[in-house]
């Protein structure tokens, strides 16, 4: 039976450029808005949204070939993912030590072990990560390692 081991949970490292891109994606060209309250609300909402994003790294051993990355996520209401729950995105499949990308798709991984990192929007620290192999408690947030900053390419939505 497959087993999931959580290696780490890290806050997203948000650059000024990424922040500006997120504000524009979510609120349009709000910087040109003459209403200062609207600009401040847009910046505050964007900041709150970006601060709730986590990068999760894990290893799956004895994996099966039928896993779907969308089955990893957190539910706001229980122990089953629903249509409005956040699931893994921007996944990166890594080598055994986690220092380089080895595949673009789950199906391209050889062997029964896979290491991956992904982004989870609306991370809830006190909720388990739901996986196809059962719920897993998440460790406390730790700083995002430089290797994951380089490998996990997040684009604001």
Q: What is the pLDDT of residues 75-127, one digit of tens each?
A: 988 888 989 999 999 999 999 999 999 998 888 888 889 999 999 999 999 99
Check residue 41 and give its pLDDT.
Answer: 87
Domains of the chain: which residue ranges? 3-12+53-151
Residue 30 confidence (pLDDT): 67
Q: What is the pLDDT of residues 5-61, one digit of tens each?
A: 999 999 999 998 998 889 888 887 766 666 778 778 888 888 999 999 999 999 999
> In this structure, what token pair is assigned to residue 10?
């890290």
pTM: 0.91
108 vs 101, 105, 111, 139, 156, CA distance in Å? 12, 5, 10, 29, 26
């Amino acid at each position: 039976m497959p087993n999931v081991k959580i290696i780490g949970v890290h806050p997203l490292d948000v650059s000024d450029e990424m922040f500006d891109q997120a504000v524009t994606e979510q609120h349009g060209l709000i910087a040109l808005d003459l209403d200062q309250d609207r600009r401040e609300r847009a910046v505050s909402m964007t900041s709150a949204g970006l601060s709730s994003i986590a990068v999760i790294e894990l290893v799956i051993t004895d994996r099966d070939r039928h896993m779907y990355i969308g089955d990893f996520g957190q539910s706001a209401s229980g122990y089953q993912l629903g249509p409005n729950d956040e699931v893994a995105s921007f996944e990166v499949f890594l080598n055994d030590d986690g220092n380089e990308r080895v595949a673009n798709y789950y199906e391209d991984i050889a062997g029964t072990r896979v290491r991956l990192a992904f982004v989870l929007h609306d991370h809830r620290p006190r909720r388990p990560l739901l996986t196809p192999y059962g719920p897993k408690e998440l460790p406390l947030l730790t700083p995002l390692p430089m290797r994951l900053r380089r490998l996990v390419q997040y684009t604001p939505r």
